[in-house]
Amino acid sequence: MKETELRLLLREMSLEEKIGQLVQLPGYFQHEGAATGPAGDMGLTQEDLRLAGSYLSIIGAEKIRKLQTEFMAQHPHHIPLLFMADIINGYRTVFPIPLAQGCTFDTEAVQEGAAIAAREAAAAGIHVTFSPMADLVRDARWGRVMESTGEDPYLNGQMAAAMVRGYQGDNPKKKGKIAACLKHFAGYGAPEGGRDYNNVELSPRTLLEDHLPAYQEAVDAGCEVVMASFNTLDRVPSAANEWLFREVLRKKMGFSGMVISDWNALQELLAHGIAADQREAAFIALRAGVDMDMTSPIYTRNLKQLVEEGRVPEAWIDESAWRVLTLKNKLGLFERPFKDADEEDEKALLLSDAHRQAARDCAEKSFVLLKNEEQMLPLQGDEAAFIGPYVGSPYLNGAWSIFADDQDTVTVKAALSRHPKTKKAPTAPGCPINDPDQPVMGFQQPVAQDNLEPETALNEAVSIAKSAQKVVLCLGEHRECTGEAASRGDLTLPKCQLRLLEAVAAVNENIIVVLFGGRPMDIRPLKEKAKAILAAWLPGTEGGNAVVRTLLGESNPSGRLSMCFPYCVGQVPIHYNHLNTGRPYHGDCHAGRFGSKYQDIPNEPLYPFGFGLSYTAFSYSPVRLSADRMTKQGSLTASVTITNTGTCPGTETVQLYLRDLAASVARPVRMLKGFRKVALAPGESREVSFTVTEDMLRFYDLSMRYVSEPGDFEIFLGPDSQTQNKARFTLE
């Protein structure tokens, strides 16, 4: 539809119709009468349902085509619905969780994963996905770290932009593409105490320099929708924050698309204590710039009366309705209201061989080898027993894989049985995933406990471990222990799993741990007892195949941590790019007193950001600079030669960090500004170069100007955030 036609449509719509465009209803309302059930509880009428602009979490080509047809037939202007859903790391073919995708340091793999998710979701009738989540995460207690790509602003920005490109391509109207919704704006990843929905306290510089850049990358990549976060920022809930949306998002960041609230967030303005009643909540949210109300009755029940009273200008309604209509037009829904919903395409695309292959490749790239003493890995064949609750578990998809079927997931046990080198490998669960006295709550109901007799399971595992050359322990937290509303104060493994570790270690010292889960954990017992540790995260549909191939050396681990593993929960929040303090400290926590340190634990994490081992080894030459001075209009090149000094092919992730040695405000000890993956054969060397420009050195100075300042800088090129391979240059 041409813009002139769309504007004519808006002018012809009644006030009630325009307000309806601002409302998203939960999909289960389609199964309830308007006067009864949840819709009736919200005070919604059949007319409210008839005029809604969007439905949430309705899937399936047949269902959506039927609903769209019926809806448009009864709508006064035959305006199509938007269908939105949480397609976070895959639709039916599930990729690794986003935190694991961050560990790939591979934007092409991440973009391809989003493109596959879009193809499958589009065939099932979905128009918009609530992804990417660009929230910066530094506190592993927060369950939603699994949905972010990590603790670094630069890496998060690169990954968020890649996901937007994958979902939308160069035009979301095209077949197999859907619109991306950036979330959660803003600062949602820094809740106090790591507790979900909690208050966020960020200084202006921290917000601008650390948290906003990744959102900006997604906006620049063209994301069509932005979701308001649940949290307060500067004590103002995001859904009521006019400064945040109208000044920062729209004017400063240049976003022109639609803003949607999170689930019931407008109703929650009453609980926040900034709205006395629903009418005030509606006024505050619309004034702030929230265009669509997700699943609450706030807009539906209150906006018309506010307009009639003169408190809300109808121009505000028109502005938001225009953005909703524009999105529908960009998706081509006025000409093709079903868009790509097609039952035959669903059959052909969902879980296709090509999609499974891509999911397996991404999973393999996301695995991080944390430890490998005595060349415990790769395995040579059937010398290992596989023990632990994750050997046979299908729960490899992550908490947000709500449209996946666990029956489609390849477990480790299934992969072992199909591989000729491991089909005879003995297996045993050893214990349940969760402690029996610690029930886990899923999104809707408690998670069913594993049906195991604890002592029998443990004794069987120990018996198998005694006769094996090596033991692969598949351990980790349950997928429902991460995700939304899954904050935790204890980051250790369940007691039953630690008991299994101790029992196996007592009879076999050759332990390899494959660690599953959605967050970094306190894994000191694993580091002490195991000779090798592979972080496999929640790897998705092809997780079992990817794990077995990696353990056998058919895939060489190349993942690097996108979020550090803390020494213990007492360190969190923790991140590599911290400030130095006036009393920096590096060394023995028991030596001296007056440094910025703990008295009982180290300052450094157990494993730092960017860390990851390989089955081969790499050496780095000293850093070479094309010049030791740079003007603001110029640039310089930083180079290093990487050599594969091992015996097998491997991929190294070369990371570029910069440090400003003296500035008008304190600067981080180092900041990631680039990375490159290099595949090398044994004995092969390659020069890797990065161009350093003035814009990479900018920050918000003492007067809050975004500038670079003349002075000395250090540039680091190495395998992780703790590298000391560096050179110095001066900005003139």
Sign of CA dihedral 277, 283, 289, 290: positive
Which helix (DSSP H) or strand (DSSP E) does residue 142 occupy?
Answer: none
- Terminal CA-to-CA distance of the chain, rounded, Å? 53
Sign of CA dihedral 123, 124, 127, 133: negative
Sign of CA dihedral 352, 353, 357, 360: positive
Distance, in Å, from the CA atom of 385 to the CA atom of 247, rounded to the nearest integer, reads 59
Tokens encoding 677? 């993956």
Q: Give backbone dihedrals phi and psi of 629, rounded to 5 degrees, phi first.
A: -135, 145
State the Cα torsion 627-628-633-639 to the nearest 10°.
Answer: 50
Instruction: State CA 677 to chain mean position distance.
Output: 21
Distance, in Å, from the CA atom of 327 to the CA atom of 350, rounded to the nearest integer, reads 26
Q: Give backbone dihedrals phi and psi of 228, rounded to 5 degrees, phi first.
A: -75, 145
User: b vs e for 643-656, b when ≥16 Cβ sit within 10 Å of the residue's Cβ?
Assistant: bbebeeebbbbbbb
Give the closest residue to 183 by CA, choosing from 143, 223, 242: 223
The SS3 call for residue 532 is strand
Say if residue 338 is exposed, middle or buried (CB neighbours under 10 Å; 0-12, 13-18, 19+).
middle
Q: Which residues, at least 6 apart from 206, have a Cβ–Cβ distance to it below 8 Å? A: none
DSSP-assigned letters across all residues of 165-224: HHHHTT-TTSTT--EEEEEEETTTT--GGG-TT--B---HHHIIIIIHHHHHHHHHTT-S
Distance, in Å, from the CA atom of 410 to the CA atom of 385, rounded to the nearest integer, reads 19
382 is catalytic: no
Write down the catalytic residue from 106, 139, 196, 262: 262
Q: Give backbone dihedrals phi and psi of 397, rounded to 5 degrees, phi first.
A: -100, -15
Active site residues: 262
